Structures are given as structure tokens and as C-alpha cells.
Amino acid sequence: MHTLDLFAGATPAAGERRALGSHAWLLGGFALPWVEQLLPELLRLRTLAPLRQLSVPGGGKMSVGTTSCGLLGWTSDSAGYRYTRLDPQTGQPWPAMPAAFLELAVAAAREAGFEGFAPDACLINHYRPGARMGLHQDRDEHNLAAPIVSVSLGLPAVFQWGGLRRADTPQKVPLAHGDVVVWGGEDRLRFHGVMPLKAGEHPRLGPRRINLTFRQAG
């Protein structure tokens, strides 16, 4: 099965694994065993590398609050998209990736069939109601052979899973707290995004969604 046509509109049960493509998987609730370790680390990381709304090359700002951890951090401004070793806002190295983050990312990649994943960057996006992420490809990484591991926490969201051309109509994939999406191989450069977040209140994270995206960027 290569799309979500047969089950669009339903979130996966914890432990359920669904194919989004030949090398792409939705792992229902996979991150739940790590949540109690992730949440305090997220608070700590925000003090070391505060959230910011990044500017985009075409003008304007992203609607999500963003920060990073790991050896490299992703950033954007009028000069373009890129990874840096220093946080442009603080002038300091990005905070080290917490052990629980790395453990989760490697375990999810392995579950999806990608052995040897060694992420050196984790992009942390905070969504408030109305925030969104337009269709895009993750192609700023030097190592496009490594997969992307994307972890959803907090409010439910609708992930847009597109094709290899921006004009391809994306599938709408519901994501819940703890779900993980992993893609690589021939699916690595698929366009993807997140539809505007609907208002709500998550029992642990309140009126927000947090997305952790692990990448092997260097």
C-alpha cells in the first residue's frame, strides 16, 4: 500500500504501522514510551535556545516557533535555508541532543527499516492554533540517503503527504500525540507539510503541538 487512500481520516492505533510509500511509514503511538523523558528536556532546550519565528527568503515569517538541538541547527533568513553549528540568536553552539531524543529517533528509524541512522540535527517546531507548514521538501541535508524521522506531540494535526512534484495532490494524514512518521529511500524528497492547527487543549501540552524532526544533516 503506497497511500492513505483507504484509511484517510482515521488516526492509527498505538503500535499500528501503516505504509505511506514503499519507504515511508506511519508508526502509531511509537513515541509514547519516551514522552516522560522528552517533555522536561523540551523545557530545558527552550531556555538554552529560545523559540523564534524564522524569516523566509521570499519575505515574511514562519507561523511556527522554531529552535534546534544537536551538532547542527536549521535556520532561515533572507539569505536562504541552511544548517549552522552556532545558534544565530545566541552565538553559542546549539544545545546537545538529549539522549532520549537520540534513542527515540534511532529506534523509530530501525522500526521503519532504516538501520544505522545517526541524526546530528533535531528541528523543534511549536505550533499554536492556526500555525501551519507549507508543502516543502527536506533537501538542505548533505546526506539525502538518510531518512527523516518526525515525532508528533500534543494536539492532533493533519500531515500533508505529497509526491515528488509540488503540483502532486497530497494525501491528508491525521497525526496524534506520540505518532512518528519515517520516510527515506525513493520517498525521501516527497513534498510534505502540516495543515493549519485546530484549536484545542491537550492534557499534557495545552493548546499546542510540538514536532521533532530528526535529520542526518552533516
> 175-204 pLDDT, tens per residue?
999 999 999 999 999 999 999 999 999 999
Where in the sequence is the domain holding 209, given as residue range(s)?
A: 17-215
> What is d(CA 209, CA 195) in angstroms, rounded to the nearest whole number?
12
> What is d(CA 208, CA 166) in angstroms, rounded to the nearest whole number?
28
- Note the pLDDT of residue 139: 93
* CATH assignment of the domain containing 69: 2.60.120.590
39 in a domain, yes or no? yes
**Mean pLDDT (whole number) for 97-111:** 98
- Note the pLDDT of residue 126: 98
Residue 206's φ and ψ, nearest 5 degrees, are 70, -145
**Mean pLDDT (whole number) for 72-91:** 94
170 in a domain, yes or no? yes
Question: Which DSSP helix (H) or strand (E) runs through 155?
Answer: none
Residue type, 213: T
- How do 180-183 and 209-215 pair as beta strands? unpaired
5 in a domain, yes or no? no
pLDDT of 174 > 60? The answer is yes
For residue 142 the three cell numbers come to: 548533505
Q: How many domains does the chain have?
A: 1
90 in a domain, yes or no? yes
Cα dist from 63 to 16, 129, 196, 208, whole Å: 31, 10, 10, 13
4 in a domain, yes or no? no
Residue 28 near residue 194, CB atoms below 8 Å: no
188 in a domain, yes or no? yes
- Note the pLDDT of residue 1: 29
> What is d(CA 128, CA 95) in angstroms, rounded to the nearest whole number?
23
7 in a domain, yes or no? no
Pick from 191, 101, 69: nearest CA to 139: 191
206 in a domain, yes or no? yes
Cα dist from 132 to 142, 157, 176, 215, whole Å: 26, 10, 16, 20
Tracing cell 495543515 back to the chain, one arrives at 195
When the pLDDT of each residue in the chain is averaged and rounded to a whole number, the result is: 93
Residue 100 near residue 106, CB atoms below 8 Å: no
> pTM of the prediction?
0.93
> What is d(CA 161, CA 138) in angstroms, rounded to the nearest whole number?
13
- Note the pLDDT of residue 9: 55
